[in-house]
Structure 1
Amino acid sequence: MMLKDPSVKYAAFPPVKLDDRRWPNRTITQPPIWMSTDLRDGNQALFEPMNLERKMRMFKTLVNAGFKEIEIAFPSASQTDFDFVRKLIEEKHIPDDVTIEVLAPAREALIRRTFEALKGARRAIVHIYNATSRPFREIVFGMSKPEVISMAVSAVKLVRQLCEENPETEWMLEYSPETFTATELDFALEVCNAVTDAWGATPDNKIILNLPTTVEMATPNVYADQIEWMHRNLAKRDSILISLHPHNDRGTAVAAAELGIMAGADRVEGCLFSNGERTGNVDLVTLALNLYTQGVAPNLDFSDINAVARDFEYCTQLPIHPRHPYVGDLVFTAFSGSHQDAIKKGFAQLQSGAHWNLPYLPIDPADLGRSYESVIRINSQSGKGGIAYLLEHEYGIVMPRRLQVEFSGVVQRYTDEHGGEMEAADIWGLFSRTYLETSSPLAYVEHHLFEEGKAQGIRLTVRKDGQTQVLTGQGNGPIDAAVHALRQVGVSLQVRSYEERSMGSSGDGGDAKACAFMEVMQPGGERECYGVGIDSNIVTASLRALISGANRL
């Protein structure tokens, strides 16, 4: 079934007449003022709003993350919100450098109730709003344009009066023309200028004008045009902070906020991880870390992103999607074989002090308190690069490239048969069973080397089919001598290549182990494969690798 013809029901949003727009040529060089509305807009969107205990935990999480402006409640809307504001003030939970904010509609009784909740606060922002767009004017409220302006101005004058009656608090006003993006720009400008005048805004007593995408209605560039038009046309611009409050109805809130900052905005309101009404508010974590990856300090601390995520999930009782930018459980995880190979090569060439430039990783997981353990995980889609990375990173096994190819086939067959995901321990277990197990038909027991003229001699003790046998052989070195010795038990092979690497140590090097990789083949080249041996003695490791290869042949 196809969607109906949209042109019958929906009309394209009209563009803004701004032929000399400047925002496309700008970049963001400093962070905006951040304002978290998790405890208000985010909270009112929850199926089960936060109780006082969860609100307090969320407040502390926001403070610890570095937010200096926090919209804590809608105190005229519920007793729980009112009580929370009183608790923060009376019990002195608000740090000196944090300003609390509360929301109230442009209605006298609710504004007075809001000031009751704020009594005794050291510093507070009173945020009032009324809807300004034509559908709300005509359909919802049945108000004319002058009546809408009068409602906003009357509310601002009341707020100013109540602020003057409570001089113990340092007050600031925020005004939102709700449904700004659907409001005619010239009328939005008229309302905002009237409100600015009513507040008596000056460069030392600024007003916050919040210009929200109450419902996201157009592409982000249209919002940027609207913001730039307001930025260039507002009276008393030096006495105004332009704030953005993007919602995510079209899925482009982050882009809208970034372009809005380029267009002249000073401040951004949103929630952690895009909580909020309908599809959510703009995600402040994503915005901040987007800045961080461009070399701009966001002035917010997400260095332990997992702790912030755990607090968020507890307080909101909402899960964070595993693919959520920066914080999702799988965002730093590569299952694809080609991705894993590129990441492995990137880590191998990473230079200390150089700009971060790793394939498929736009940010260093360590900067967010995430380990590298989850960067590469293995399933049926994985390839040799990811497998090699896990064995190297977790167990110190640096496989030769041809062994990577060979073992990836072993892993592929296993995952195809068993399904699911393999963790590092599972990969190591399969590697051990494939290359290192001593329960195979032929097992190394011990060896003794001796000189036989100009040749190297070996007495090699093995266990074959449960029986211990002592074999002797001579050659141009220990491995060649062992190859000759194995012929005594019917094992014929040739060594095609040999590598050995240290697996490291925990301190002085005394417990370092050697890992030997030996590619062997049957005489005539009918078949070839790898054997692997690990031991603190390099010769022993080599002999174990030889016997491992013989068993696999």
Structure 2
Amino acid sequence: MSGFDHKKYRPFPTINLPDRQWPNQVLDKAPTWCSVDLRDGNQALIDPMTVAQKKRLFQLLVKLGFKEIEVGFPAASQPDFDFVRALIEENMIPDDVTVQVLTQAREALIDRTIEALKGAKKAIVHVYNSTSTVQREQVFCLERNQIIDIAVNGVRMVKERVEKHTDTEWRLEYSPESFTGTELDFAVEICDAVVEEWGPNPEQKIILNLPATVEMSTPNVFADQIEWFCRNIKHRECLEISMHTHNDRGCAVAAAELGVMAGADRVEGTLMGNGERTGNMDVITMAMNLYSQGVDPELDLADVTEIIQVYEACTNLEVHPRHPYIGELVYTAFSGSHQDAIKKCLSKYDASKPWEVAYLPIDPKDLGRSYEAVIRINSQSGKGGVAYILEAELGLKLPRWLQIEFAGKVQRYTEEQARELKQQEIIDLFQQHYLNTEQQFELVTYKLERSDNDFLNATIRCGDQIIELSGDGNGAIHALTEALSAYIEQPVQIAEYSEHALSAGSDAKAVTYVQVKLGDAVNTGVAISEDTVAANLNAVLAAASALIQEKDLIAA
């Protein structure tokens, strides 16, 4: 019998908030960010970071622009204590950065915490205790008033001790742990008691952190909880409402965004969402969500390569290739229709206007990525992706008919190889089929006389033979096809033609693409030359040579 039984669970209750305001709000500025990578993120690692790794990650967080960084739980372990001391004693904390440390509301732990912070210029002491219904009733077996006493007594002890260290600018943060599982009226009651004990001050606001220690509801219900709390808490002008969302339901970023809309001022999270169970709120994703809407995230995420390198080196975790915004494959299109749309949009993009490119919510270059990785080729790819690579790498703007033809060759090759092709392989394949072919005919010299009807004299090498061709027509290409037709005594026709310059300037090269028809057979030729006429003639010869050779029409 299956143990998969949904009836053992019950839906999370909704919040009675009929006049909720958050759905009409718009995110137009970044919240205050607090990184908890070095504490919450670290405790979730199989192998916690060494002091050296923590220092490296701290320096990265500072470089990215975090002004508040939770650096550990110094009362809980000697490595955390040593790390906090190293930051202070080695003067690693910039003047505009505040370090934050976590402690439970217990005297011995608070004493050790204050000892660890001695000499810091600015510090946040983060006190917490569990307040949820299930924790009170099943873990601690305590009443509401007893839980409140734990919080108030802890805050009182912190207040008494920090008053003895006036060289440090102190702030208090209090978290009713498992806020999402706590009755809202009780969450407000205990937070009000903490604020009164510390003393409300609009110039030095208390941080009330409301953690979704376990994500228990849809993000809209969490937003209702935050708005209800903000409406009912006392001394709101003296408070900074913070959130610490987890990702148990996969909605930590969404919950944090809606929570800010509901009135929260501050967000705690980690790089790439590293944290307990399914992880913490991913600061990079939320920050880039803001960025994609034209809002300054107030974090510098322009070099994702460095961010990933430091993160992976310090945590021993790998960044998923589909991770939002920074994963290796998030700006990559394999689908032919996607590639074609991206190629067309990029060719029309005007940097003076807002970004608007199909399938790319932001410009990859903003994160230090190049367009090289945007389009990659496998058996599912189409003509647009192949054409994009040739244009980006060689400057070749293939006409549509040649895009279709060459894409077919690429698809057959990828199916044979049963793998993705590298960009250089695409280039090599094109050169093999069109530019480095063994031509039966090779142009040695030519003379074109311009008149009402252009006249062409061309010297052609065919193996060991030298052939003199003459013909007239409307332009060099027409004259050459007429000359070839006379030579092989069969009509040679141009089915498709296109040309363009490869670059600007007097020394620019020209590229010509032609499709030649001989009877029912057709073939394509491509030629590049600094001489436009030579490019035209060589392209025709490249296309016609294979057809003439195939039909064995070379005169002895």
- Whether TM-score is above 0.5 comes out as yes
Q: Which residue of 1 aligns with 2:239?
A: 240
CA distance in 2, matches of 1:287, 1:515: 46
Q: CA deviation at 1:93?
A: 0.5
Letter matched to residue 380 of structure 1:
S
Equivalent position of 1:472 in the other structure: 469
| 1:169-207 C-alpha deviation (Å, 9 max, x unpaired) | 000000000010001111111111111111112112211
Partner of 1:89: helix, strand, or coil? helix
Question: Normalising to structure 2: TM-score of the pair?
Answer: 0.95
* Shift of residue 497, structure 1, vs aligned partner: 3.0
Matched to 1:223, the amino acid is F
* 1:545 counterpart residue number: 539
Q: Is the CA contact (8 Å cut-off) linking 2:472 and 2:483 kept in structure 1? A: no
Counterpart check, 1:446 vs 2:444: yes
Percent identical pairs in the alignment equals 53
Aligned to 2:4: 4
Provide the secondary structure at the position in 2 that maps to 1:165.
Answer: coil
2:395 match: 396
Separation in structure 1 between the aligned mates of residue 138 and residue 490 of structure 2, nearest angstrom: 91
Q: CA deviation at 1:451?
A: 3.8
Task: Output the amino acid matched with 2:5.
Answer: D
The answer for the alignment partner of 2:174 in structure 1 is 175
Deviation track 1:251-310 (CA, whole Å, cap 9, x = no partner) reads: 010100000000000000000011111111000001111001111101100011111111
Spell out structure 1 runs of 4+ moving beyond 6 A.
none
> Aligned AA for 1:265?
A
Partner letter of residue 65 of structure 1? L
- Asked whether 1:516 is paired with 2:515, we answer no
Classify the secondary structure of the residue corresponding to 2:533. helix
Q: Quick check: 2:448–2:476 contact (8 Å CA) kept in 1?
A: no
Deviation larger for 291-300 or 419-428: 419-428
CA deviation after TM superposition for structure 1 residue 407, in Å: 1.1
Alpha-carbon distance between aligned partners in 2 of 1:324 and 1:238, rounded to the nearest angstrom = 38
Kindly state the Cα deviation for residue 552 of structure 1 after the two structures are TM-superposed.
5.2
- Alignment match, 2:426: 427
Instruction: Please give the residue correspondences for 1:330-341 in structure 2 after superposition, counting only pairs within 5 Å.
Output: 330-341=329-340
Where does 1:113-512 land on structure 2 (aligned, <5 Å)?
113-440=112-439, 442-451=440-449, 455-464=453-462, 466-476=463-473, 477-487=475-485, 488=487, 492-504=491-503, 509-512=505-508
1:26-65 correspondence runs (5 A): 26-65=25-64
Q: Distance in 1 between matches of 2:296 and 2:514?
A: 50
> Are 2:110 and 1:78 equivalent residues in the alignment?
no
Give the letter aligned to residue 4 of structure 2: K
Q: Quote the Cα distance in structure 2 between the aligned partners of 1:504 and 1:372.
A: 20
Structure 1 residues 450 and 386, CA gap change in structure 2 (3 angstroms): closer
Deviations 1:489-519 (A, max 9, x none): 57752012322101115xxx35421100112
RMSD (CA atoms): 1.6
Rounded Cα–Cα distance in structure 2 between residues aligned with 1:224 and 1:552: 70
* Gap regions ≥5 residues in structure 1: none
Deviation string, structure 1 residues 221-258 (Cα, Å, up to 9, x no partner): 01100000001000111111110100001001010000
Give the residue type in structure 2 aligned to 1:486.
Answer: L
**3-state SS of the aligned residue for 2:429?**
helix
Taking the aligned partners of 2:288 and 2:469, their CA distance within structure 1 comes to 65
2:284 and 2:546 map into 1 onto residues whose CA distance is 52
Work out the CA distance in 2 between the residues paired with 1:186 and 1:255: 24
Q: Which amino acid aligns with 2:458?
A: L
Change (3 A) 1:151 1:546: same
Distance 1:552 1:245 in 2: 69
Aligned 8 A contact 2:36 2:270 in 1:
yes
Give CA deviations for 1:427-462 in whole Å, capped at 9, x if unaligned: 11111111112424x142412215498654434344
Q: How many angstroms apart in 1 are the aligned matches of 2:54 and 2:216?
A: 31
Matches of 1:85 and 1:56, distance apart in 2? 10
1:66-95 Cα deviation digits (max 9, x unpaired): 000000111011111100100110110100
CA contact (8 A) 1:493 1:522 kept: yes
Q: In structure 1, how many angstroms separate the alpha carbons of the residues matched to 2:29 and 2:451?
A: 77
Q: Distance in 1 between matches of 2:171 and 2:154?
A: 14
Whole-Å Cα distance in 1 between the matches of residues 489 and 176 of structure 2?
89
Shift of 1:471: 2.8
Name the CA distance, whole Å, in 1 between partners of 2:450 and 2:298: 73
Q: Tell me, what secondary structure is at the counterpart of 1:405?
A: helix
Deviation at 1:406, TM superposition (A): 1.1
Structure 2: 5+ residue stretches without partners:
548-556
Report what 2:529 is aligned to: 535
Q: Secondary structure at the match of 1:341?
A: helix
Shift of 1:480: 2.1
**Corresponding position of 2:88:** 89
**Whole-angstrom CA distance in 1 between matches of 2:510 and 2:363:** 31
Q: Which amino acid letter does the alignment assign opposite residue 474 of structure 1?
A: G
Distance 2:263 2:369 in 1: 34
Query: Any idea what SS the aligned residue of 2:146 has?
Result: helix
